[in-house]
Structure 1
Amino acid sequence: MTAAEAFTEPAYGDRSLGDVVPAVARSLGIGADAVGPPPTGLLLPDAGSWVVFLVDGLGAELLQRYAHAAPYLSSLVEGSATGTAGVPSTTATSLTSLGTGLTPGTHGLVGFTARVPGTDRLLNHLWWDKRVDPMEWQPHPTAFARLGAAGVQVTVVNKREFEGSGLTVAAHRGAEYVGADRVGERIAGVVAAAATSPSLTYVYDSDLDWTGHKFGVSSTQWLQQLAMVDAEAEQMREALPASTRLLVIADHGMIDSPTDARVDVDEVTELRDGVALIGGEARFRHLYCSRGSVADVVDTWRGVLGDRATVLTRDDAVARGWFGASSAGVLPRMGDVLVACRGDLGIVSSVDFAYEMSLVGLHGSLTSTEMLIPILVG
């Protein structure tokens, strides 16, 4: 494997999404015991208040590649750190790592979809399932809550529809929630929340990710949306006092996957052999196997996909540190076999996940384009 083909390993404890809130806590002068050990590779300047602006889908390599469309954000790149998403590089996993300060193997949101242990059901971590209590699914106190208990005002500014959702409760409980559906509302909500010191205000924008999924990251639509995000970040910075620092991050990057680069498990039917349930997403599949079939499933998938993907048993993936520290209760949510795509491969199911067939941009795997995220201080 050449260096260009190597996966980007998650930088847990160093410069991953789970290390952002501990780094902010250290900047605010909050003791390490309050939130967790400060990361070894992420040092933020001292400030009385922070605004963390997460742009869904804005990978570090995409920002570098399309710098002309984002002049303000690009002006912050020089001298900045690059961080990593966790594994898989997907929104629900990343947002929970940020909000809890925990690795995916501990907080338990280990993919876009994951099996509910003891059932034949998948839990979609974005849309959730009322039969699953998010407080039980993710029982650990969040980093937001721990920071709040240490005397810091913590506020989430996000769309109204996300308030009280399963993902919000699992990932961001313990923070005050401010509903804001439009850019102007978001900026006003951020400015009001950040007026308190010490404070952490988290604000989220999903539009770039949606545009990339629908049209692709090389599309005119995506570039126009990037320009709008850039303007939003600049306006936010201008509206905030100098004593408040702005931190712009992302949850993952994205890769365009053309239809001829995809493998449909309902057409290559041997990929169904020994697999009771398929979860995850098109770039990172969880395969839940029938009893005694794990070795055969690994051999079949490796034989079909070759060097287009890395196929590992759960034990091997955990041993590699893909999910970070992993608790026994979370392990059954992971596939018996994990399939991480390389290049522009997408593994789809026209039967089980028909909606994925219409997506252009995908993410979830460990390529540098998907894993590397900007950490920009303004």
Structure 2
Amino acid sequence: MTLMLPAGPAQARSIAGVAPDLLASLRGESETLPPVSSTVLVVVDGLGALPLRAHAGHARTLTAAMSKKDAAASVFPTTTAAALTTLLTGEMPGAHGLVGYRVRDPRRDVLVNQLTEWEGAGIDPLTWQAQPTVFERAVSAGHPAFAVGFAGHAHSGFTHATLRGASFVPAGRPAERVATAWDLAERNPGALVYCYLPETDKAGHKHGVDSAEWVAALEDIDAALRLTVPPGVGVLVTADHGMVDVPAHRQVVLDESDGWHDGVRHIGGEPRMLHVYLEQDADAAAVLGRWRRDLEGLADVLPRDEAIAAGLFGPEVSDAATARIGDILAIARGNRALYDGAAEDQRGRNMVGQHGALTPEEWRVPYLRFGGFAA
């Protein structure tokens, strides 16, 4: 079988083009964005275009700027580590190398959480993610660069991999982060400012996209973005991915007693998109056949070479990225999730909102222009 990326509307753009376009707008050379004195990139983590439209009454600021064409395509897998790195480098996962949530470090043959385990796993952000960030490119061109986010994120390995080149500015609630971003852009002509808003992603994981908690988080962000954009500043609001709600009865548990781990050394990724790493002496064809048979109708299962050939990770996949991709990929269909029953930590089964696969809810994200970009 060959799995292709989902089709989007004819006007759809990729989030991989956001960073280069923002830099071009500062030079007056963008084909899609007007020239501006400074620019702000606002990323609302986990906010899909379809869930946003479905809750338009709770996000009047965002949806007032949103037409049918104001959407962009995320990347595969639709997870923060992969998609946010694409947004901040302009490169697809096959090039920047963050190809999933938990992937194998080939050097040590262990799974590493790409958001939180850099230091403990001894991974160097400068080599694991070697592509220049949009902030490094901005600074090299003479533009000030800033990243506004939680103080606790300032020195993480993931921050060093994706935000290097930017001066990190901590701020609290969404309204404070937005106000700080607007102020930095106004006081620093030519600046590129990044503002990270993860509240919808957190509420969605814990309570679900249709929950009162998720709606409250969306309303809080929408209210923050009502703040008037300073003259000459262009603001682009987008997301890394969306999400779907997975009820408990849609969970598929891969129990060791049922033979799911025969020939399997590690199961990484996340419940909506598993990286399956095989033992060196495993019969790869037999394992692939078994997974395909037993997950028929529940997930798309394909070997690494087919996934790469289909362009799932982008047009070019480096040797380093290839070594991190599972021998087999299992991509959940619909609103199902696949859980490793042998994993010590089963807390993930409490998550309601999830992402990583290829549904339109996960794949399509808003692409909204404010301030100088809305002109």
Q: CA deviation at 1:29?
A: 1.4
Q: Is the 8 A contact 2:175 2:225 kept in 1?
A: no
| 2:310 is the alignment partner of 1:320 | yes
Corresponding residue SS for 2:295? helix
Q: Deviations over 1:207-228 (max 9, x none)?
A: 1101000001111111121111
Q: Which deviates more from structure 2 when the two are superposed, residues 86-95 or residues 116-125?
A: 116-125
Residue 28 of structure 1, aligned match among 26, 29, 32: 26
Q: Is the 8 A contact 2:178 2:225 kept in 1?
A: no
CA distance 1:7–1:99, change in 2 (3 Å): closer
Residue 17 of structure 2, aligned match among 7, 19, 24: 19
Residue 98 of structure 1, aligned match among 84, 87, 109: 87
1:184 & 1:60 partners in 2: Cα distance? 22
Q: Is the 8 A contact 2:58 2:218 kept in 1?
A: yes
Q: Deviations over 1:346-374 (max 9, x none)?
A: 00124414121110111001111101010
Corresponding residue of 1:165: 156
Corresponding residue of 1:34: none
| 2:291 is the alignment partner of 1:293 | no
1:79 & 1:342 partners in 2: Cα distance? 25
Residue 320 of structure 2, aligned match among 301, 318, 329: 329
Q: Is the 8 A contact 1:284 1:340 kept in 2?
A: yes
1:260 & 1:327 partners in 2: Cα distance? 38
CA distance 1:173–1:61, change in 2 (3 Å): same
Match runs of 1:3-82 below 5 Å: 8=6, 15-29=13-27, 43-78=32-67, 80-82=69-71
Residue 205 of structure 1, aligned match among 197, 202, 207: 197
| 2:342 is the alignment partner of 1:344 | no
Q: Which deviates more from structure 2 when the two are superposed, residues 155-164 or residues 298-307?
A: 298-307
| 2:88 is the alignment partner of 1:116 | no
Give the structure-2-normalised TM-score: 0.91
CA distance 1:150–1:164, change in 2 (3 Å): same
Corresponding residue of 2:373: none
Q: Deviations over 1:322-367 (max 9, x none)?
A: 1111101211101001111110110012441412111011100111
Q: CA deviation at 1:81?
A: 2.7
Corresponding residue of 2:368: 376
Corresponding residue SS for 1:45? coil
2:159 & 2:8 partners in 1: Cα distance? 23
Corresponding residue SS for 2:301? strand
- 1:61 aligned partner, one-letter code: L
Corresponding residue of 1:147: 138
- 2:200 aligned partner, one-letter code: L
Q: Deviations over 1:251-278 (max 9, x none)?
A: 1111011111111112672222211100
Q: Is the 8 A contact 1:27 1:46 kept in 2?
A: yes
Q: Deviations over 1:104-123 (max 9, x none)?
A: 01111111110001333111
CA distance 1:111–1:64, change in 2 (3 Å): same
What residue ranges of structure 1 are gaps of 5+ in the alignment? 32-37
Q: Is the 8 A contact 1:107 1:140 kept in 2?
A: yes
Match runs of 1:257-296 below 5 Å: 257-266=246-255, 269-291=258-280, 292-296=282-286
Q: Deviations over 1:156-197 (max 9, x none)?
A: 001111112111111110111101122343133212210222
Q: CA deviation at 1:295?
A: 1.4
1:27 & 1:297 partners in 2: Cα distance? 50
Corresponding residue of 2:166: 175
1:140 & 1:234 partners in 2: Cα distance? 34
2:130 & 2:28 partners in 1: Cα distance? 24
Q: Which deviates more from structure 2 when the two are superposed, residues 350-359 or residues 298-307?
A: 350-359
- 2:319 aligned partner, one-letter code: A
CA distance 1:43–1:118, change in 2 (3 Å): same
What residue ranges of structure 2 are gaps of 5+ in the alignment? 371-375
Q: Is the 8 A contact 1:308 1:341 kept in 2?
A: yes
1:107 & 1:29 partners in 2: Cα distance? 25
Q: Is the 8 A contact 1:155 1:200 kept in 2?
A: yes
Q: CA deviation at 1:242?
A: 2.7
CA distance 1:25–1:10, change in 2 (3 Å): farther
- 1:166 aligned partner, one-letter code: G
Percent of aligned pairs with the same amino acid: 38
| 2:367 is the alignment partner of 1:367 | no
Number of matched residues?
Answer: 361
CA distance 1:80–1:47, change in 2 (3 Å): farther
| 2:299 is the alignment partner of 1:309 | yes
